[in-house]
Structure 1
């Protein structure tokens, strides 16, 4: 492999190649001990239809999806990345998209086998696959389980046919119910995705959606506020959404209904029973490391003196060409020292129990004094509580999370 110098903080390079590991280990202003836990994210970018609210890197499948070639490209991407993660244990794998369940169970099994052959996986490694009811076929979810997937995430969004049509979903309520029945039968743990504050949605309709979701006794429930994101169809043609005050009332009702059903709100948008919290997402929120492979995938990796972010080529055909040539990176840069407090807080303050102060230092390479001023300001505003060891958001901090996180932006 060619020797390509790693960049100073804030610089980028885009030649596609992953640098020799020795260059990631050069001296810098940060100092890390053991690296944080490592996850693997695998992006499968195709969908049956692009949802009008979606700003993810997803592409409508016009014709047959090139499964075999794309899996070849993912394996080549992983091969090129092995030198910089060699010897590290992977605690979770997440197949996201797009709609990963468009891929056949055979392709997913081949991919999981290739990953197992190249990386050391933890004995209890969580392997999640996102699935949409519009791709549901009876026994298909069970086939994914047999392929090695341990956790399914079912993108229901709503059970109301009118609302599903308004947000451009390809399934209806009946298909959503059938998919959840199959998921509950095939998997010991699964996630159910809902959205609220949908176009024209009333409180009663929101309550009906949540009640239906809870009737399946999901071990994990993710509930997201529908927002209009730039560069989406909804940004160009905005739907009529509930007022902000109504959306806040909906969230309060969601929190009350889930708590009454035994689900704990452990993250701003996530609720779980017992030990069913998503390990993969927890690693993100605790500022762990993740290798991202696939079209447009992002990654974050920690070395002795730096934190590096990577982005793969976004367009699937270009990504496949580049990855198969051993050059999957669109760009790569060091995270600037001054950006690390905000990057850490963007994640850690999403968690109900916050973070340990020693973890801030371990994950950023910075002393706790780097955040002394914004912590004091957050506490004075009633946005956090803390003791000698931990910091956690208050109810007010959860309600005004963007304001809380913004206190940690570099001046």
Structure 2
């Protein structure tokens, strides 16, 4: 027991480089999964790779001329390693040219776990690829089967290990709340991700989007997505487990890009879902620390970088803090990197 606690937020330091996304919607994808709506998410239809490459070069040339950057170049929205190999080489060769000019410092791509193999990953690494983000979605066999992913949890785990064994950085994307979801599935997915020790994780709770097979299932009452409240609570519970393992969580929920918002029929989409989940995770950390005090809390000193998160989106955590005897009058924002919680 103690009357004063000093502690750091467990979240790893964010990456300093900015990401320059290059979208290749559906390109290389062997088929479309029941939930997939890359066209709605990116505002683009199937990718014309010639146009994508030309636009990428034009935009990077403009950034170079303006003195912007540097950037981490990221190929998203399709299955990069399933593109024709000549196209993979073209994209990486162009990226390499901008790396030599100092505009690009790192290159990453997203792909499926059933579209990677050791020899070609090594070749891509030698061509300048630095990181592979795998759209794992879940390690649960039933959820993967009902989502139409075409692989099982063993293959998902082996693909993660393969990426790391090839010397590439690993990113894992999880999509909780899929068909086949049951209590504990997402918690176990997070546990599996921690064991695989990726550099980054993205968490995208499953949404029902117009025009997808999942929308048909939902319309017939055969699929029930998570609520916003459940998504917030599940994400908030997952965050400290990932942070404490040194894993950066670089996205919580789908960003409101393209025409996505107007096509969402159901599911846990909210523009502040990420902030809300982070705030709830922070509250649980503070609550656990407050329980270690030998008296009720008298003062909570909070690093200013967390000022916008502490009391939640729109102050929705004010009452929760009051329950642990911390109201706004007992909070002070400081220029320190650490939280300090003092008892009375």
- Matched residue SS, 1:193: strand
Distance 1:346 1:244 in 2: 10
Residue 77 of structure 1 is aligned with which of 36, 39, 55?
55
CA distance in 2, matches of 1:398, 1:200: 33
**1:241 aligned partner:** 225
1:118: how far off? 6.3
Distance (Å, rounded) in 1 between the aligned partners of 2:315 and 2:215: 25
- Which residue is equivalent to 1:263? 247
Higher relative contact order (CA 8 A, sep 6+): 1
C-alpha spacing 1:118/1:147, structure 2 compared with 1 (3 Å):
closer
User: What are the ranges of 5 or more consecutive residues in structure 1 without an aligned counterpart?
Assistant: 1-35, 59-65, 271-283, 286-296, 299-310, 312-344, 354-384, 402-411
Look up the match of 2:124: 144
**Runs of 5+ consecutive residues of structure 2 not aligned to the other structure:** 1-16, 41-45, 260-270, 280-301, 318-344
What is the deviation of 1:43?
Answer: 1.8
User: What corresponds to 2:94 in structure 1?
Assistant: 114
Please say if residues 133 and 173 of structure 2, whose CA atoms lie closer than 8 Å, have aligned partners that are also in contact.
yes
Cα distance in 2 between the residues matched to 1:257 and 1:395: 21
* TM-score computed with the length of structure 2 as normaliser: 0.60
Q: Which residue of 2 aligns with 1:98?
A: 78
**How far did 1:129 drift?**
0.7
Question: What is the root-mean-square deviation in Å for CA atoms of aligned residues?
Answer: 4.2
Which residue of 38, 57, 60 maps to 2:39?
A: 57
Paired position in structure 2 for 1:48? 30
Select the residue among 207, 210, 224 that pairs with 2:190: 210
Contact kept, 8 Å, 1:90 with 1:121, in 2: the verdict is: no
In the TM superposition, 1:3-402 aligns within 5 A as: 39-43=20-24, 45-46=26-27, 47-57=29-39, 71-78=49-56, 81=59, 84-87=62-65, 88=67, 89-117=69-97, 121-122=101-102, 125-238=105-218, 239-242=223-226, 244-263=228-247, 265=249, 268=252, 392-394=308-310, 396-397=312-313
Counterparts of 1:170 and 1:400, CA distance in 2? 41
* SS of residue in 2 equivalent to 1:126: strand
Of stretches 170-179 and 74-83 in structure 1, the one that deviates more from structure 2 is 74-83
Q: TM-score, normalised by structure 1?
A: 0.52
Residues 327-346 of structure 1, C-alpha deviations (whole Å, 9 max, x = no match): xxxxxxxxxxxxxxxxxx98
